[in-house]
Chain A
Amino acid sequence: MENRNARTEAEECLAGYGERVAENQRRVFHIAYGILGNRADAEDVAQETFLQAYRKYSSLRAADKFRAWVNRIAFRLALNRQRGMRRRLTRETGWHAQGTGDSVDGMSDAEKGVLVERLRNEIEELPEKLRSVLQLSIVEDMDAADVGVVLGIPAGTVRSRLHTARKLLLEAMK
Chain B
Amino acid sequence: MKNNCRKWKNELLEAALTGATAGGLEEHLLTCAGCAEELAELRAKRERLNALLPLVALGAEPAAGFGARVMAAAESAEETRRGRAWRVWGWSGAIAVMATTIVVGLALQWRTVSTVPESELAGAKKLAKWRAPSDVLLETPGREILWKTPKLGESYLHVSEKSNEEE
Contact = CB atoms under 8 A, between A and B. Distances in A.
Interface of A: 10, 14, 17-18, 21-22, 25-26, 29-31, 33-34, 37, 39, 42-43, 46-47, 50-51, 54-55, 95, 101-105, 112-113, 115-116, 119-120, 123, 134-135, 138-140, 163, 166-167, 169-171, 173-174
A54 B17 contact: no
Contacts of A34: 56-57
B70 A14 contact: no
A10 B56 contact: no
Interface stretch (B47-55, B140-148, B155-163): B47-55
Contact of A21 (B13, B14, B71, B78): B71
A170 B13 contact: yes
Contacts of A25: 62, 66-67, 70
Given A25-B62, A102-B48, A167-B13, 7 more contacts: A46-B62, A50-B73, A51-B77, A54-B78, A105-B51, A166-B17, A173-B48
B57 A30 contact: yes
Q: Most A CB atoms within 10 A — which of B16, B44, B48, B69?
A: B48
B42 interface: yes
Interface of B: 13-14, 16-17, 42, 44-49, 51-63, 66-67, 69-71, 73-75, 77-78, 82
A102 B47 contact: yes
A135 B57 contact: yes
A33 B44 CA distance: 27
A31 B45 contact: no
A33 B70 CA distance: 17
A157 B3 CA distance: 34
Given A14-B75, A104-B48, A174-B45, A167 B17 contact: yes
Given A29-B66, A102-B47, A170-B16, A18 B57 contact: no
A113 B52 CA distance: 9
Contacts of A43: 62-63, 66
A37 B58 CA distance: 10
Contact of A138 (B56, B61, B62): B56
